[in-house]
Amino acid sequence: MHEPEKGKRIMSFEKILIANRGEIAIRVMRTCREIGIKSVAVFSTEDRKSLFYRLANESYLLKGTEIQDTYLNIEKMIYIAKKTGCGAIHPGYGFLSENPTFVDACESAGVKFIGPKSATMKKVGDKARIKKIMEAAGIPVLPSFENPDDTEELADIVRRIGFPLIIKPTFGGGGKGMKIVYSEPELVPAIQFAQNMGRTAFGNPAFYVEKYLENSRHIEVQILADGQGQIVDLGERDCSIQRRHQKLIEESPSPALNRELRRQVADLARRAAQAVEYENAGTIEFLFEDGKFYFLEVNARIQVEHPVTELVTGIDLIKEQIKIAAGEPIKISKKRTVPNGWAIECRINAEDPESNFMPSPGQITGYRSPGGIGVRVDSGVFMGFSIPPQYDSLISKLTVWGRNRNEATARMRRALDEYVILGIKNTLPLYRAIFREKEFLKGKHATSYIDKHLQGLLQDVEQHTNKFQERMLTSIFHNDRGMPVCDAYLVNEEFPVFYT
């Protein structure tokens, strides 16, 4: 274990601006408080009744009605950082976290960006270019072609690599704009979809065509890299349970890998990080099928699922990010990088699985979080909080640790049964069904799991939900006088804030 920090401030960072919201902002604030750094929060008008900014040392309102005016506004972020004397900015995930223009602006303003350098961001952000860099470094990639010019070239691509294919925006992320193509009539509409999404969401219509693996596992490796050229891997995470190419459940280690395969993918990840001169925390993602790994992409930021790695290593990844940004070398023993036990995370989203995971914003009318040994909840919500439609549908992240996978899955099943969220559709019932399903419990699932099992899982949800909700509502949410009893935060409207 690391020696206690005892509130010691890391180098020259007296304050850090957190350019994000919700649970990840709270997560960064917690580490800042532990190591003696003051945190500065920003929040939009839609987040006036949120919890996260009230936990910071200082808070500033970002005026504006559009995301471009608030959490995507680089000028405002830099202005507030300079005004408050922040030596660094932590971007969290999403929003500006992988924007090289933001990194350049931070560097120009003399504010340290807690993440990789701009040059690295530009390399890894271009999904077509990064594949060429990895191929040149001897890292296996899937066959792909960028921006085919005409139908003749497209037909040639189909002949060479065959169906199924997947069409992706070149500068995309988070599964946006991706379409799997199984036959020729689906090809042009899929390309148009990727181009439109690329243009509107990422400012560039470029796309590429890639071979699609139908029975692959999604394996990613958490790495840390410092300014002295040291690269450390912290084991892999299996993120194969997905909907629309976006992760739902993550675990570490992967049930699909043995010791030799684990060593192979860790070696590939370190080589990939070296190929782009990576610095700070990042994730190297691969597809795994028939005993072979294929490079997928680099996530140049802290991942949503980082608690999984923290639970099996005992390493605070946010703390390591801040240390690296402050110029400190990595001081983690090799023994610490070997996973201890098993961790699993469920992303609890405000979505309706019965309606193709349609977002379900609205007010949480009842809330009771689970607890007990080996249970961690990362969240920024409370009873009475309204999930805003403008932002990601994530409610919380429920992560458990066990000595092995059987204990971890049993603990997650118990924690899911304790977790109650009322007032909005959410993914809790679906997860309860997944943690009763045999293929998942055996660890035999692939990225196609949700498509393959969704109908059966929804039938399981229907069978168990009414009985479960009746028990929770009567035993947890009401006392003998009919008064609600649950977790809640009193959100004080008079909380002092500063305005830009």
When pLDDT is averaged across residues 372-393 and rounded to a whole number, the result is 95
pLDDT at 312: 98
Kindly state the tokens that stand for 205.
């219509």
Kindly report, residue by residue over 8-61, the tens digit of the pLDDT: 555 579 999 999 999 999 999 999 999 999 999 999 999 999 999 999 999 999
3-class SS of residue 110: coil
d(CA 500, CA 40): 13
When pLDDT is averaged across residues 137-161 and rounded to a whole number, the result is 83
> Which band of pLDDT confidence, cut at 50, 70 and 90, is reported for residue 500?
very low
Which of 95, 106, 66 is closest to 173 using CA atoms? 95
Kindly report, residue by residue over 218-244, the tens digit of the pLDDT: 999 999 999 999 999 999 999 999 998
Is pLDDT at 117 greater than 80 in this prediction?
Answer: yes
pLDDT at 23: 98
Contact criterion met (CB below 8 Å) for 395 and 332: no
pLDDT at 7: 47
When pLDDT is averaged across residues 352-373 and rounded to a whole number, the result is 95
Phi-psi domain of 47 (left: phi exceeds 0; alpha: psi -120 through 50; beta: other): alpha
> Which band of pLDDT confidence, cut at 50, 70 and 90, is reported for residue 499?
very low
3-class SS of residue 358: strand
pLDDT at 157: 80
Element (H, E) at 417: helix 405-418
Kindly state the tokens that stand for 288.
């795994």
> Which band of pLDDT confidence, cut at 50, 70 and 90, is reported for residue 107?
very high
User: Which carries the bigger pLDDT value, residue 473 or residue 130?
Assistant: 130
d(CA 247, CA 72): 23
For residue 255, CA distances in Å to 241, 347, 418, 439, 446 come to 13, 19, 26, 12, 11
pTM score over 0.85: yes
Give the angle subtended at the CA of 462 by the CAs of 457 and 467, to the nearest 5°: 125
d(CA 130, CA 148): 18
User: Which carries the bigger pLDDT value, residue 173 or residue 483?
Assistant: 173
pLDDT at 209: 86
For residue 333, CA distances in Å to 2, 91, 320, 329, 349 come to 10, 27, 13, 12, 36
pLDDT at 163: 87
Q: Which member of 217, 237, 301, 405 is catalytic? A: 301
Is pLDDT at 104 greater than 60 in this prediction?
Answer: yes
**Domains along the sequence of the chain with CATH:** 15-114 (3.40.50.20), 143-211 (3.30.1490.20), 217-475 (3.30.470.20)
Phi-psi domain of 277 (left: phi exceeds 0; alpha: psi -120 through 50; beta: other): left
Strands 38-44 vs 15-18: parallel, antiparallel or unpaired: parallel
Is pLDDT at 471 greater than 70 in this prediction?
Answer: no
pLDDT at 497: 53
Kindly report, residue by residue over 326-348, the tens digit of the pLDDT: 999 999 988 788 889 999 999 99
When pLDDT is averaged across residues 70-99 and rounded to a whole number, the result is 97
pLDDT, mean over the chain? 90
Percent of the chain with pLDDT over 70: 90
Check if 259 is active-site. no
Is pLDDT at 478 greater than 60 in this prediction?
Answer: no
User: Which carries the bigger pLDDT value, residue 169 or residue 47?
Assistant: 47
User: Which carries the bigger pLDDT value, residue 471 or residue 73?
Assistant: 73
The burial class, CB within 10 Å (0-12 / 13-18 / 19+), for 159 is exposed
Is pLDDT at 124 greater than 70 in this prediction?
Answer: yes
Kindly state the tokens that stand for 92.
């969290």
Is pLDDT at 258 greater than 90 in this prediction?
Answer: yes
> Which band of pLDDT confidence, cut at 50, 70 and 90, is reported for residue 322?
very high
Max mean pLDDT among 141-155, 169-183, 351-365 falls in: 351-365
